[in-house]
Amino acid sequence: MSGSGGNHLYYGDNLSVLREGIGDASVDLVYLDPPFNSNATYSHLFKDESGQVSGAQIAAFDDTWHWDDMVSGQALIELRDSPHQEAAKMLDAMVGFLGKNPMTAYLAMMAVRLVELHRVLKPTGSLYLHCDPTASHYLKILLDAVFGASNFRSEIIWKRTSAHANAKRNFAAVHDVLLLFSKTKGFLHNESYGPYSQEYIDEHFVHLDPDGRRFRRSDLVNPAVRPNLRYEFTASNGITYQPHQNGWKVSKEVMEQLDREGRLFFPKKENARLRKKIYLDESPGVPLTDVWDEPRPIHASAAERLGYPTQKPVALLERILAASSNPGDVVLDPFCGCGTTVHAAQKLGRQWIGIDITHLAINLIETRLYDAFEGQAAFTVHGVPQDIGGARDFFDRDDKTKKEFEKWACGLIKAYPQGGGKKGADGGIDGLFRFGPAREHTAIVSVKGGKNVGVAMVKDLDATVTEQNAQIGVFLTLTPPTKPMLDWARGAGTFQVDGFDPVPRLQIITVEEAMQNGPRAVNTPLRHGSPYKKAAREEDARAQGSLDL
């Protein structure tokens, strides 16, 4: 178990991370937004810094599920052998009713993870599962089985978009579902409020102080009979007010304080009741219901948008965190994607744990937190190489990790990974980045992890740079380059941007150099930054405390 304190970002399968890295009853709040079973293939996860989608497919995840006895069937067996017999019975019933198909494969994947999320929650903790109506009803049944039906708290409807063209033969699908469960009846909940509508403000906050401060009037009569609160009150206007037969709502001392602070409303009519001013700028808002038509979704032109297709607004996560956690509490997102949950947690002073299975997401989250909090967000990244020995081990692990190694290596120099994970699909291009005054120039990255690197590979990169009309080629190698490789690179010439010194057209960089120097390992005019859209800076970034897992 991790016990080093601080915030934690994990690369890996969240089921393994939960089982091996997160302790029992160590988390105060779980939010998860798993890939929906909506038959959508998110092959273009990110736009690069120019705003263009890469021509290569980046299939970092695919939320079309297929039943596989080695995966889905194993999940069902694990549930049957676990203490969560109700969950096992429920999943068995679903498979029996629905059959072995994409939906039940999805539910099997979710069931074993929900069991682990229940385990890591504290008795006062809560879980929000964000989903769409495609599977929300099945997921709620699973949650009933894992958490207990009596611990269901709310089904929140969030309006995520406006009406659009899909309404021609149906009602427009515009909402997501958030299923809220607590671990026990002793769960934490902070009263939550939404903003007043302008119509409500215009109707109720109709009075103005001389300084223009808007307020409404509130009765000071006690709703119950309180003989001890029956007293005459002589206000600062010289008028003595008689109590109602029930008495005042507040003591005489409090009434005098309200008068001193200018918070009493003196009626013009002689027999009218004394009232209290409730100022709009001090009012919490409307108590939240389980239907949310805001925060509004992130539109294409929004400054918050990073280019991730399922990105949620930070304000949505801030609302959830404010309702179900306190500063210093531990927030976990096991499908953290582009990092909205950990961003909100960092902003609100919560400890956080994020898990994702793609290096694209891990790299994006690191960059997002750095940009938003100006390097003040301290966290530990797990599951990625920390030194050159770890890098070699990562590459040598098995054939499945080769493409992930390439994506990780590209991330070291903030290059945008290319390729869909199939051999030969990238056409010899493993990554790219743009540079120059308007990011108008392109650099192509080739990653090589094997020991048999040679000059032929550098020649191939040289040819690719020419064919693609790129300006620079970066050869990123796990093993040191040979002299013929270096000689060819030196002979490939230079590229120059007006007003800057020329730079080598072909640059050979070792993975070790990239680990040590990051993007600075590459020599480009106007050093390139993240391939993703830069996150807006948070003005109230704050340091985090400790976390015991």
Integer Cα distance of 350 and 328 in angstroms: 5
| Structure tokens belonging to residue 152 | 């269901």
Integer Cα distance of 12 and 237 in angstroms: 70
Is the per-residue pLDDT at 47 higher than 70? no
Integer Cα distance of 344 and 312 in angstroms: 11
Task: Average the pLDDT over 42-55 and give the result.
Answer: 40
Task: Average the pLDDT over 481-489 and give the result.
Answer: 96
Per-residue pLDDT band at 349 (split at 50, 70, 90): very high
Is the per-residue pLDDT at 268 higher than 90? no
Task: Average the pLDDT over 261-278 and give the result.
Answer: 89
Per-residue pLDDT band at 298 (split at 50, 70, 90): low
Burial of 245 (0-12, 13-18, 19+ CB in 10 A): exposed
How many residues are listed for the chain in this entry?
Answer: 549
Which of these ranges, 183-187, 305-309, 389-393, has the smallest mean pLDDT? 305-309
Give ∠ CA 61-66-70 in degrees, rounded to 5: 100
Domain map (residue ranges) of the chain: 7-47+58-194+288-382, 198-282, 402-521
Residue with the bigger pLDDT between 164 and 314: it is: 314
Residue with the bigger pLDDT between 530 and 401: it is: 401
Q: Is the peptide bond before 295 cis (omega within 30 degrees of 0)?
A: yes
Task: Average the pLDDT over 333-346 and give the result.
Answer: 94
Residue 124 is predicted with a pLDDT of 98
Is the per-residue pLDDT at 33 higher than 60? yes
Residue 545 is predicted with a pLDDT of 38
Per-residue pLDDT band at 526 (split at 50, 70, 90): confident
Which of these ranges, 194-203, 298-307, 538-547, has the smallest mean pLDDT? 538-547
Which of these ranges, 77-91, 220-234, 268-282, 390-404, has the smallest mean pLDDT? 390-404
CATH code for the domain defined by 7-47+58-194+288-382? 3.40.50.150
Is the per-residue pLDDT at 222 higher than 80? yes
Count of CB atoms situated within 10 Å of the CB of 197: 10
Task: Average the pLDDT over 298-319 and give the result.
Answer: 67
Mean residue pLDDT of the chain comes to 85
Per-residue pLDDT band at 548 (split at 50, 70, 90): very low
365 within 8 A of 336, measured Cβ to Cβ: yes
Percentage above 70 pLDDT, the chain: 83
Is the per-residue pLDDT at 276 higher than 50? yes
Which of these ranges, 229-238, 335-344, 399-408, 479-488, has the smallest mean pLDDT? 399-408
Looking at CATH, the fold of the domain delimited by 402-521 is given as Trna Endonuclease; Chain: A, domain 1 (3.40.1350)
Is the per-residue pLDDT at 300 higher than 70? no
Residue 527 is predicted with a pLDDT of 62
Q: Measured on CA atoms in the order 92, 96, 99, 103, is the torsion positive or negative?
A: negative
pLDDT per position as a tens digit, 427-483: 579 988 888 888 899 999 999 998 889 999 999 999 999 999 999 999 999 999 999
Residue 481 is predicted with a pLDDT of 95
Residue 121 is predicted with a pLDDT of 98
Is the per-residue pLDDT at 508 higher than 60? yes
Residue found under tokens 């599977």: 135
pLDDT per position as a tens digit, 110-143: 999 999 999 999 999 999 999 988 889 999 999 9
Task: Average the pLDDT over 138-151 and give the result.
Answer: 96
Task: Average the pLDDT over 153-177 and give the result.
Answer: 80
Sorted by sequence, the CB contacts under 8 Å of residue 40 that are 6+ apart come out as 63, 64
Count of CB atoms situated within 10 Å of the CB of 471: 21
Task: Average the pLDDT over 329-349 and give the result.
Answer: 94
pTM as predicted: 0.79
Residue 531 is predicted with a pLDDT of 54
